[in-house]
Amino acid sequence: MGTWMYAKLGKNCEVQENVTLGLKYKEDCGEAIIGDDAVIRKGTIIYADVEVGNDFRTGHNALIREKTRIGDGVLVGTNVVIEGNVVIGDQVKLESNAYIPTHSGIGDRVFIGPGATLTNDKYPLRAREEYTPNGPTLEDDVTVGANTVILPRVKIGEGSFVGAGSVVTKDVPPWSLAIGVPAEVKSLPEKLKERNEFKS
């Protein structure tokens, strides 16, 4: 059985052992709110001030930090880290070992492959005067391949694909293909010009 520190669960939720829900990070935080029909697997930690919709699933050892908003039908895979202050839409899949930093935005029906890393800080500690995090924005129906890196402030336009192992350093227009290091933008093949549809 999990540990509820400061959390409210919806109906028909399955919470496995060694789960922490509503981890308090300050005295006056709000509770974690989890919608109906969630399955939260062993080792997962969800902070207080997180709101999650219905039909939520995690793998093992996922971490979701404070002030994150997650829609309906979202999968957060094994060892995924969401650092907080993130907005995630409906029907999103974050595969194992993906990293989502603070101040990132993810639209509806987005797929992020295993080991993908989003970043939110343009400069290393030595070269910056102040820390102003600003993560990427992934619009609706974006697909991001495994082990991709997306740099801060980059916008991946609606319906676009990012090839596995790519490093995205600049905005990608809607319905485009970005591949390579650094990623080059190309035309999206016609057969890929449709919205993502995930089966349960």
List pLDDT tens digits, range 107-134: 999 999 999 999 998 776 666 666 677 9
Rg (alpha carbons) of the chain, rounded to whole number = 17
- Mean pLDDT taken over the chain: 94
80 pLDDT band, cuts 50/70/90, is very high
Rounded average pLDDT over 130-159: 94
Place of tokens 């219905």: 54
Q: Which fold has domain 80-189?
A: UDP N-Acetylglucosamine Acyltransferase; domain 1 (2.160.10)
Rounded average pLDDT over 153-177: 98
32 pLDDT band, cuts 50/70/90, is very high
Judge whether 79 and 59 are in contact, CB under 8 Å. Answer: yes
Q: In this structure, what token pair is assigned to residue 91?
A: 């029907």
Q: In this structure, what token pair is assigned to residue 101?
A: 């930093």
**Other C-beta atoms lying within 10 Å of the C-beta of residue 171:** 16
* pLDDT tens digits along 176-195: 999 999 999 999 999 999 99
Instruction: Compute the distance between CA of residue 81 and CA of residue 96 in angstroms, rounded to an integer.
Output: 9
Query: Which residues, 6 or more positions from 122, have their beta carbon under 8 angstroms from its beta carbon?
Result: 128, 151, 152, 153
Query: Which residues lie across from 87 on neighbouring strands?
Result: 69, 105
- The SS3 assignment for 192 reads helix
* pLDDT at site 171: 98
Length of the chain in residues, anyone?
200
* pLDDT at site 122: 77
169 pLDDT band, cuts 50/70/90, is very high
- Looking at the predicted structure, is the pLDDT value of residue 57 above 60? yes
- Looking at the predicted structure, is the pLDDT value of residue 73 above 60? yes
Question: What residue spans define the domains of the chain?
Answer: 80-189
pTM value?
A: 0.94
